[in-house]
Amino acid sequence: MLLALLLAIGCVAGTVRAIGQEPIIAFQNGKDVFKLADRNTAPGVIVLDGNDWPGVIRAASDLAVDFGRVTGMNFTKELVNSTNPHDEFPVHGNNKGVIIAGTIGKSRLIDSLVQQGKINVDKTRGKWEAFQSEYVHNPVPGVPSALVVSGSDKRGVIYGLYDISEQIGVSPWYWFADVAPAKHSEIYALKKKKVQGPPSVKYRGMFINDEQPALTNWINENYPPAKYGPGFNAHFYSRVYELLLRLRANYLWPAMWNNAFYADDPRNGETADEYGIVMGTSHTEPMARATNEQALFMEGPWSWDTNEKNITQFFKEGVERAKNFDTLWTEGMRGFGDEASETLTAESLGSVVRVQQKILSEVLNTTDLSTIPQVWCLYKEVGQYFEQGLRVPDDITLLWADDNWGNIQRLPVGNETERSAGAGVYYHFDYVGEPRDYKWINTISLQKTWEQMHLAYERQAKQIWIVNIGDLKGLELPLNHFFDLGYDTLKWASPDSTLQWLTQWAAREFGEKVSKEVADIMARYGMYAARRKYELVDPNTYNVINYNEADNVLNEWKALADDAQKIYKGLDASVQPSFFELVLHPCLAGATVINIHITAAKNKLYASQRRTSANTLAEQALKLFKDDYALAQRYHELLDGKWNHIMDQTHLGYNYWQQPMRNVLPPLAYTQILEESLAGSMGVSVEGSNASIPGDDQWHSLSSNTLALPPLDPYGPSSRWIEVYSRGTQDFTFTVSPHDSWVKATPSTGKVSASGNNTDVRVQLSVDWSKVPAGSHMASINVTIASEDYGNTGMPTVQLPVNNTSVPADFHGFVESDATVSIEAEHATRNTTTDDASYAVIPGYGRTLSGVTLLPVTVETQQPPSSPRLEYDMYLFSNVSNIKATVYLGPSLNTDHSRPLKYAIAFNDDEPQVVQFVPTTPMGTLPSAWNGVVSDAVWTNTTKHVVKAGGNKNTLKLWAIEPGVVFQKVVVDLGGVRPSYLGPPESKIV
């Protein structure tokens, strides 16, 4: 279904490879283009003012090389230093492609073009990180045409230059993900003017964190040790700075577990400033000082109440060291090492910030602190101080945090939106902490990121967006998406924009030919991986007996891996490394881990049933364990070992929140296959039960020797299954004999071997509905063995409930089956709206299909029953009036405690029941159910209702009372719902 949506949406024009960007480049000659590059003629030239920003000149060098990556011939770079730049313009009267680039007010070339009326920069001058790229006829004598890139500031020009790089075919990930540049013999610029205004979010950054073992081990292999820790030096960070700028980002919190950014390598800060990166430090490291510097350079404990003097000096030295660099100063204070302080209070924190602001004023020589970028991250316990009355000066940006699991805890309310320094969000794609670390590979739902960051932007948290990116590698996709959302939020304002974005991303990285298929793969991957972090998955996650859940999940993963493998094999060899890193590896690795846990779960079940095949499954699990290791090694050996160690992160065998020191398989069981079962060689089990017959076990008593299947009816599964298997040392032939002629067994007979590949046979039981009498019946099925040897027991029998039900011809809606109605929220029978609000589908959101949410997110609290609602018609057969309805919702939190997340629910004309499914908790604390909610990636809430029973139409009604509520699924239980992770599959709609 996702692929169908992608095909309907379409993607960018075939000549454009820059995600979400207005095109300025073409690869074919035409009426409204002019040539920039041709591999058969002289190389083009990029001309700049030699006095422009170093970062601009450096980015121009990158662009010059990028042309070579695409055409085989680098551009040259020429610097003009004359006071009259036209006098020494290095290109006259030839056929070279010419690009002129510079900063308004800093480049005499650009200013001269403005003064002559050749370009008009009124739409960009004085704005933040804005640029324009335009065709200019005869910009200087002897040059017939040029592409002129002018920026309002240094990053504006840099983004304009890298925009060209991306559009000609050089991905921002050409180095960090080894994306092969596109190849073109000719490159043309469009004869047009493109104006790119300020980004939607002012500071867009990432935090390299939790960087052990993978990234640190990789660093240790590739860079010499830094002065005080692993080699996170300027050579490494230069790669990071370039990546950030190519991704149109501007802000960095550096790695800090065992490092001190400024002290480890003095060039770290200098190089960041040269490139044009705004540096910061994490929420627990104020005033440009790393945590590790406290032990190195500070006297006394990290305790404000006993060591204020030394801490103040420590702060001052940090500002002195970084004062000449572009810095967003982190303020506030926490306890040592990312912990809550035992002594800080709201009052003492206020004192800390006053001292910090005084230091900034003195060292930076200004009395106007509103000109100094400052941020205070209200992370974890710090939020409690804010709620207790701590008042933060308006010239400090309030950085609200998520719960470390992608659920924002607070956004601006009331007059907080009027703060001069605004607000921002600290978000997580990686975390170390309870309930479990997640730091192996990508488990991020892009749709959820869209939903949360769209909410943040509309609620005016748009001064800073920064995301914890862990090791960086493995999280390339969600990082790119996050930055694109921050750069141009309105471009991606539609709830279905994630699918559009994925298609454009895939086209850029792997070519348009496979873009829709790759986008579909990664959309599916994002849903499957986000259902539960790999580190939390265990053999008990997916149910191996109910709803075929474990098999269905495993089949989804296998199909995903097969689809990715098929595309990989068809790609050019130059494209395969990046496809492996970005697509194939996560699909294969994810499928392997899920397979390990499901295989271990089946092994446990089969061993409890004393199946011979339990041993085969144990061996399969061991093989999968080796496959998991082999995949990491394949990554490490890629491209002559370029990324050796980057997959060192352990991910199997968690016992508590912290990472295991070594991967460990789930427990496995072996059956003694040299002996016969006391109940004979044959075993029988049925769908929906752990039990086995003949004989008894903890789920089944010996007296009946009978097992019951879940019921069959015309509106549920087309068949139910039983399994016949070996529990002994003898081969045997079995026969499945239904008592009723309208029950069919496929196969009805078969041979089971005591060893080898034929130890288990699944038999499907179906019915011919045209021959089944109306009403409810219990069909009996005998399972016999030719030898009639059932050990110390008798012949096993299976009972199959059969309900031949029917709905009226004029009914349209969901139909009860197995005493259950399961509904995907997207499939509303009716969707009512008002002038102020309506429901929108977020395709791919959640665990099974999609999410449905209320838009716009700034709408006021809704008042059921007159507010917009979702209605679901259903036909119920059971003679049960008292039922339960469980609503599955997105795992969001209350971002405005005066407006907690609520929904209302009712059947038919009943009064709506209002449900506050997210409890109100003090800022800095989390609801008691939070561990389970983030582990399961869903809130669930169950209400009781009275319905019209015994063959009647009923209508379920849902209302979102607050924006931020995201409905995923509803399950109506008439007594038939069985345990599962994802809930029953969706019921049939007629």
Encode pLDDT of 520-535 as tens digits: 999 999 999 999 999 9
Mean pLDDT to the nearest integer, 128-145: 95
Encode pLDDT of 265-299 as tens digits: 999 999 999 999 999 999 999 999 999 999 999 99
- According to DSSP H, which parts of 730-872 are helical? none
Residues 785, 751 contacting (CB under 8 angstroms): no
Peptide bond into 224 cis (omega under 30): no
Encode pLDDT of 464-514 as tens digits: 999 999 999 999 999 999 999 999 999 999 999 999 999 999 999 999 999
Terminal alpha carbon distance of the chain: 19
Residue among 846, 835, 826 nearest 936 (CA): 846
CB atoms within 10 A of CB 898: 9
pLDDT for the residue numbered 630? 99
pLDDT for the residue numbered 10? 35
Residues 39, 84 contacting (CB under 8 angstroms): no
Q: Is the pLDDT of residue 89 over 90?
A: no
Cα separation of 209 and 989, whole Å? 47
Q: Is the pLDDT of residue 984 over 50?
A: yes
Sign of torsion over alpha carbons 918, 920, 926, 928:
negative
Cα separation of 825 and 965, whole Å? 12
Residue linked to tokens 């990664």: 522
Sign of torsion over alpha carbons 935, 938, 944, 950:
negative
Cα separation of 829 and 811, whole Å? 11
Sign of torsion over alpha carbons 857, 860, 861, 864:
negative
Q: Is the pLDDT of residue 208 over 90?
A: yes
Cα separation of 292 and 224, whole Å? 19
Q: Confidence class of residue 341 from pLDDT cuts 50, 70 and 90?
A: confident
Residue among 632, 600, 605 nearest 619 (CA): 600
Cα separation of 330 and 119, whole Å? 40
Encode pLDDT of 936-957 as tens digits: 999 999 999 999 989 999 999 9
Residue among 117, 170, 172, 182 nearest 148 (CA): 117
Q: Is the pLDDT of residue 321 over 50?
A: yes
The full 3-state SS of 628-673, as one line of letters, equals HHHHHHHHHHHHHHCCCCCCCCCCCCCCCCCCCCCCCCCCCCCCCC
Residues 276, 154 contacting (CB under 8 angstroms): yes
How far is residue 507 CA from its own chain's centroid?
A: 19
Residues 881, 889 contacting (CB under 8 angstroms): no
Q: Is the pLDDT of residue 1 over 50?
A: no
Cα separation of 723 and 683, whole Å? 8
Written as six digits, the tokens of 50 are 């030699």
Mean pLDDT to the nearest integer, 126-151: 96
- Which is more confident, 16 or 732? 732
Q: Which residues pair with 283 in a beta bridge?
A: none
CB atoms within 10 A of CB 630: 12
Ordered domains of the chain (ranges, CATH): 25-196 (3.30.379.10), 532-641 (1.20.58.2150), 682-804 (2.60.40.10), 814-973 (2.60.120.1620)
| Those residues with Cβ within 8 angstroms of residue 178's Cβ, 6 or more apart along the chain or in another chain | 577, 578, 581, 638, 639, 642
Q: Is the pLDDT of residue 371 over 60?
A: yes
Encode pLDDT of 382-410 as tens digits: 888 888 888 899 999 999 999 999 999 99
Encode pLDDT of 672-729 as tens digits: 999 999 999 999 999 999 999 999 888 887 667 999 999 999 999 999 999 999 999 9
Q: Confidence class of residue 166 from pLDDT cuts 50, 70 and 90?
A: very high
Q: What percent of the chain has pLDDT over 70?
A: 97
Sheet containing strand 374-378, strands side by side: 278-279, 251-253, 203-208, 464-470, 423-428, 397-401, 374-378, 329-330
pTM of the model: 0.96
Q: Is the pLDDT of residue 16 over 70?
A: no
pLDDT for the residue numbered 908? 98
Cα separation of 299 and 313, whole Å? 10
Q: Is the pLDDT of residue 783 over 50?
A: yes
Q: Is the pLDDT of residue 568 over 80?
A: yes
Q: Confidence class of residue 134 from pLDDT cuts 50, 70 and 90?
A: very high
pLDDT for the residue numbered 14? 40
pLDDT for the residue numbered 9? 35
Average pLDDT, rounded, for the chain: 95
Return the ∠ at Cα 31 (arms to 28 and 32), rounded to 5°.
Answer: 85
Cα separation of 410 and 399, whole Å? 10
CB atoms within 10 A of CB 617: 23
Written as six digits, the tokens of 840 are 């929108």
Written as six digits, the tokens of 903 are 């929904």
Q: Confidence class of residue 458 from pLDDT cuts 50, 70 and 90?
A: very high
CB atoms within 10 A of CB 871: 14
Q: Confidence class of residue 2 from pLDDT cuts 50, 70 and 90?
A: very low
Mean pLDDT to the nearest integer, 861-877: 98
Residue among 813, 798, 847, 803 nearest 984 (CA): 847
Q: What percent of the chain has pLDDT over 90?
A: 90
Element (H, E) at 865: none
pLDDT for the residue numbered 3? 42
Residue linked to tokens 């002195």: 320
Q: Is the pLDDT of residue 42 over 90?
A: no
